[in-house]
Amino acid sequence: MKSILVLLAATLLTFGNSKAQTDSPQTTSDQLVIVWTSDDPYVAERVALMYTHAAKTAGWFSEVTLIIWGPSAKLTAENLKIQKKLKTMQADGVVIEACIVCADAYGVTDELKKLDFDIKGMGKPLSDYLKSGAKVLTF
């Protein structure tokens, strides 16, 4: 029993003093990042976009970012109602980012660029959000 406690204490000390922990990004507990992947317009209108917009306008989170990823890129490029909603959200302070690899795969990069969204590789930014302590939710 004593050896287990010594091992546990050593593990906790090592964990608490690890370089990885001290080099990690600053925790951002008041940041929400929504990863929107669904191509279902009902999920978009009645869940993903509704919650994202309310989280910003109601002040539930001070920073709100929506990431358009995968099939949602195609839906965004083709659906004028969703485009209008996204532009309203953007005007209200929601940061909108889109995955360039996804946009290219669906052939909708030009359409998304015309909407003035931040289109870029999203693997590293999403990893940074996760490491920062931001709340990340996927629809």
Which fold would CATH assign to domain 25-138? Hypothetical Protein Ychn; Chain: A, (3.40.1260)
Please tell me which residue, 40 or 12, carries the higher pLDDT value. 40
What confidence tens digit (pLDDT) does each residue in 44-81 have? 999 999 999 999 999 999 999 999 999 999 999 999 99
CA atoms of 96 and 89, how far apart (whole Å): 9
How far apart are alpha carbons 31 and 43 in whole angstroms? 22
* Distances, alpha carbon 122 to alpha carbons 16, 95, 102, in Å: 30, 14, 9
Mean pLDDT for 13-30 is 47
Distance of CA 31 to the CA centre of its chain: 9
CA dihedral 59, 61, 65, 70 (to 10 degrees): -110
Question: With contact defined as beta carbons under 8 Å apart, do 57 and 69 qualify?
Answer: no
Taking the model in full, what pTM does it have?
0.79
Q: Which two tokens stand for residue 98?
A: 């889109």
Cross-strand pairs, 138: 35
